[in-house]
Amino acid sequence: MPRPITLLFGVHAHQPVGNFASVIDDALDRCYRPFLRTLHRFPDFRFSVHFSGWLLGELCSRFPQDRALVAEMVGRGQVELLGGGDTEPVLAAIPARDRLNQLQTMNARIGRHFGGTPQGAWLAERAWEATVVPALADSGIRYTVLDDYHFLCTGLEARVLDSHYTTEEDGRAIDVFPISEALRYRIPFSLPEDAVAHLEHLAQEGRAAAIYFDDIEKFGIWPETWDWVYGKGWLERFIQGVLASPLIGTATYSEFRASRATRGLIYLPTVSYVEMNEWTLPPGAAAHYDRLVRQEKEAGSYASSKPHLRGGFWRNFLSRYPEANWMHKRMLELSERLSALPEPGALRELLHRAQANDAYWHGLFGGLYLPHLRRAVWRSLIELEEALDAKLPRPPIERRDVDLDGHDEIMLHNAHLAAALRLDGGASIHELDSYALRHNFCDTVTRRREFHHRKFHEAPRAAPGSGIASAHDRVGFRHAISAADLIADATARTSLADCWDTEGEPMRHVSDYALDAAAAPLHALEFSCALAGGRVRKRIALEGRRLEIHWRLEGLPRGRLVTRLNLSMTSCDGYSGRYILEDGSIPCGFGQSLAQASCSVLTLDDLELGGALDLTASPAAQLAAEPYHTVSLSEAGFEKIMQAACLTLAWEAAAGAAEARLSIELRSSPGDNIAREQED
């Protein structure tokens, strides 16, 4: 009789910081609660689990009975809780001091609710860089779990990936476990009897352990899995099969590690899981990578060549997406400022929330295209910045290359507002913050070409809500989408980007604005640009809660000055987000188109935001407003997501000199809201 194999069974539960309460409730009902209750009935089935810190906080505060169930299983030694970064950051992408603080915060959270200190840690997106080892070791973590792909990339063979190895960095060491890809694709998708038979086959081969750790959401939240896992009893049948087999035993990762010596020293490359390595690549490189993978699969050699086809790595997202990079670099600056405080106190939690990984990347599961996840990051960044300004005041105007793109930025702020402008000739704003509302009104993303858009063109025309059922190749359509929705933007989606329109000629972008530093007073910037034989002068200023823009046209022919605003609003459509005209009428919501031949006053009223924007144009401008959408791919299929309300304002200008002014006032007091006053 072969020696029993040890099944190391682990699951990872995560919800992004800022996710909707209804989503968490649904995940608890369809997945977390039935999973835990099923496992609770089998105390001899030992396993490990990781809840990301924010989700664990929600579980403990809102669902005390479920917390008590976990505590009971911890107390009887059935389950081991893993630590990690408290808000699920990619540890490699945040400063070393914050890595340690994130890990220690999570350790303390687990200790408060369940006692003890975790031995293991989950790494967000299994994004590995050796630089994270010191923080893991210094926080008391003794091991982590990574894909077997990480290990195969070193040249090891799959047959030796049945136990833990040891790695080190800067004199600190931790152990690393290789998660079996074969198990991840079998559990819970194959028949439970087949999964048990596979484990028994590994035992007969003499393997020490079968190492499984994967997203718990596969057990009820992924399409069609609830009926399979609970309705048809997959999970219960699998557990019963494991416990009944004389060839399979179960243990927590810590128990197994304590009972066996390490297999030896290993140094892992900078890498994440296979799909992530594709998602990080720009479209052209991703297409080339995809062709190589297909060629190897067709030749039957992919299994052996896969470790040598690595694609990119997680930090590529910061170079691919300027919006993610801007958030990241703003976070780094605020982290540096916070580190200067002797007692950060509760401000450290704001920084940690701003470091949550989900809004910084895009793939099948990433959330860069999800406005509510980006808003959660910006809410924390803005609140943290306001608090730091109160303790560590900064100049009202600063100039530096924040995002390392080769162009300096001007950071402009007063007690109420903050704005950021990139000195790239556009004189447009890519960040506009209200401290009272904790909101960045320029928080949107540019519509760009994505490699996965090819699936839209390749897939048969399917109705919204339908899909192809494979895990990573699902091509469903949650909304009606046309090819026109995939056309990439020619320029970045900033605000106050100007054009000059002369009849009979193509509209030209005003892209050569130069900063006149000597002319700028406090809280204001002056720009000028030669155009069409004349000159455009543009002044951008913060006046209390108002953003004031003043254009002066000198010596230009007859034409139109056009400027575009991409305004990120919390409410996209319906009654909660609507336009209000000067006479108090409500023509439509942000999700509809609006055209006004002459508009002097327009209010963007947002119930969810709890505030409004008042736009005042002088002279009256021609106005066109329309919703701006992007198309992205998630595990549920293609999604068409409204990112912003796009407003285009135009002023007719006679030949010679002319002026135009636009005032944008940000209001946060519901009592000031025009519509609500009328309703009262």
Question: Which residues are catalytically annotated?
Answer: 125, 215
Q: Do 24 and 63 touch, CB atoms closer than 8 A?
A: no
Report helix, strand or coil for 569: coil
Two tokens, residue 199:
């484990």
CB 432 within 8 A of CB 419: yes
Instruction: Determine how β-strand 397-400 pairs with β-strand 209-215.
Output: unpaired
Number of H helices, E strands in the chain: 21, 27
Q: Which of 442, 449, 439, 433 is nearest to 608 (CA)?
A: 439
Using omega within 30 degrees of 0 as the cis cutoff, is the peptide bond preceding 506 cis? Answer: no
Q: For residues 448 and 114, what is the distance between their CA atoms, to the nearest angstrom? A: 46
Structure tokens at 101: 């603080």
| Sequence-distant (≥ 6) Cβ neighbours of residue 312 within 8 angstroms | 277, 278, 280, 281, 285
Among 200, 259, 198, which Cα is nearest to 1's?
200
* 79 close to 56: Cβ distance less than 8 angstroms: no
Residue 36: name the closest of 212, 227, 230 by CA. Answer: 230
**HEC states along 154-195?**
CCCCHHHCCCCEEEEECCEEEEEEEECHHHHHHCCCCCHHHH
The closest alpha carbon to 132, from 122, 82, 258, 165, belongs to 122
CB 177 within 8 A of CB 252: no
DSSP per residue over 583-601, as a string?
A: TS----BTTS-EEEEEEEE
In angstroms, rounded to a whole number, what is the distance separating the alpha carbons of residues 437 and 235? Answer: 46
Helix H or strand E segment including 71: helix 64-75
Q: What is the C-alpha separation between 308 and 149, in angstroms, rounded?
A: 10
Alpha carbon distance 459, 225 (integer Å): 23
Give the CA distances from residue 674 to residues 88, 368, 386, 417, 579, in Å, rounded to whole numbers and listed in that order.
Answer: 41, 34, 28, 22, 11
